Structures are given as structure tokens and as C-alpha cells.
Amino acid sequence: MATAALPLSAWAASVPMASRRLSTSVSTRLTKNDATLDDFESSGTLARTADADLDGARKVLDDLAAVGVDLDAVTNQLEDEGVAAFEKAYDELLTSLQSKADALKAP
């Protein structure tokens, strides 16, 4: 199945600014830094690729298992690290918001 890639700039042009800000600031900003977003914006594309080559994907998974890669262990580690990174970013966001709220209350 062929998929059409959508450059991020085309996506950005098609989405209202308020939606982009909400999407960027609420979801991706918690786990991605500005450099990552800038890199993706300059050279990334949005495309449906998960089912583009299922036979090739199955072969890759079989090859990984054949050389001893425990995909379940890798997945668990990545999930644990991702949750920890999200939790840290979320805590930092809450701390920042509390500091701003406190500053607004100050006489």
C-alpha cells in the first residue's frame, strides 16, 4: 500500500495556530525538546508507514529474535524510560506553573 508523506510544514499550514499551539505545548512539549521539534520540522515527514511492508517487518522481527534480541525486554525498558521521562517533564511543568502562579499572587 502506497502512502503519501505529508511534510510538517504542510501540516502546519493546514492546522489553525491555536490547535498547533495546544498540540505542541500540551502533548509533545512534555517529552520532546525544541531541537527535536526543529529537526523534524526541517526534515521530517508525516506518513502512514506501519503497514507499508508487513512481510519485511516480520522478517526484521524474526532476525532480531534469531540474534538473541528480546523484544519484550527492550519494549519494557523503553516504556519504563519513557514513563520516567514523561513524569519528570510533567513534574517540571507543574513546578513552573506553581512558580508563575505564586509570582502572580505576590504583592
On whether both 105 and 57 belong to a single domain, the answer is yes
Q: List the alpha helices (DSSP H) in the chain.
A: 8-14, 17-22, 34-43, 54-66, 71-105
- Residue 29: exposed, middle, or buried by beta-carbon count in 10 A (0-12, 13-18, 19+)? middle
On whether both 96 and 62 belong to a single domain, the answer is yes
Out of 52, 73, 88, pick the residue that ends a domain: 52
On whether both 59 and 48 belong to a single domain, the answer is no
What pLDDT, on a 0 to 100 scale, did the predictor assign at position 79? 94
User: What tens digit of pLDDT does each residue of 73-93 get?
Assistant: 999 999 999 999 999 999 999
C-alpha cell at 4: 503519501
pTM, 2 dp: 0.47
102 lies in which domain range?
A: 53-107
On whether both 46 and 74 belong to a single domain, the answer is no
The sign of the torsion formed by the CA atoms of 90, 94, 100, 103 equals: negative
